Amino acid sequence: MQRVSYDIDEEKIALHSISYTKNVTSTIFMDYKEGKEYVLSNGACLIFPLGNFSDPCIPEDASFLGQSYLGQQPKETPIHMYKYKTDKHDMYITVTEDCIPIEAHFSNEVKGHSEFLLYSSFSPGIKDRSVFTPPIICDKQGISSPHVAGRRRRGIFVHNSFE
């Protein structure tokens, strides 16, 4: 399960993930204006340099696969399906015309890894801005890494694999 908070104006993303199968909880704070990604997991905080903020919806290199509808006339919602590749996965994503994510499917045939995400429980606006603030432990104990986190795709379809 993942809870994502996304602020396109301030260029910030917060992602709270729970892997029930591996019993791992992690929280990722991405602050593109500050150029840092904070990864908090198992009581440790890692800090990575962060690349450029990217389009919040569909990557430019994505291939359009087609369109369909959710629901029934006259209240159906048009949806669009796309495919693109990341460093680790083939990605299939479905969004509304306003780029609200519906589902995503990640797969890596070489590693035999496949994951399906269904997005739900949307709410407009940000009710609690503190969701974007890394905990104090990251300031005190944060371990920096030269790895640039921005090389991975970022946006609405943030994927944090627990491999």
pLDDT one-digit tens code per residue, 54-95: 766 788 889 999 999 999 989 999 999 999 988 777 889 999
Question: How far is 48 from 55, CA to CA, in rounded Å?
Answer: 20
Q: Tokens in use for 89? A: 């996965």
Q: What is the pLDDT of residue 145?
A: 56
The model carries a pTM of 0.67
Q: Let me know: does 54 contact 61? Beta carbons within 8 Å.
A: no
> Would you identify the CATH topology of the domain 2-151?
outer membrane lipoprotein receptor (LolB), chain A (2.50.20)
Q: What is the pLDDT of residue 155?
A: 45
Task: Average the pLDDT over 89-108 and give the result.
Answer: 87
Task: Average the pLDDT over 105-125 and give the result.
Answer: 77
**Higher-confidence residue: 143 or 105?**
105
Write out pLDDT tens, residues 7-48.
888 999 898 887 766 777 889 999 999 999 999 987 888 898
Q: What is the pLDDT of residue 118?
A: 78
Q: What is the pLDDT of residue 56?
A: 63
Q: What is the pLDDT of residue 31?
A: 94
Nearest CA-CA partner of 8 in 159, 160, 161, 154? 154
Q: What is the residue extent of each domain of the chain?
A: 2-151
Q: What is the pLDDT of residue 150?
A: 43
Q: How many CB atoms lie within 10 A of CB 100?
A: 14
Question: How far is 70 from 140, CA to CA, in rounded Å?
Answer: 48
Q: What is the pLDDT of residue 154?
A: 42
Q: How many CB atoms lie within 10 A of CB 60?
A: 7
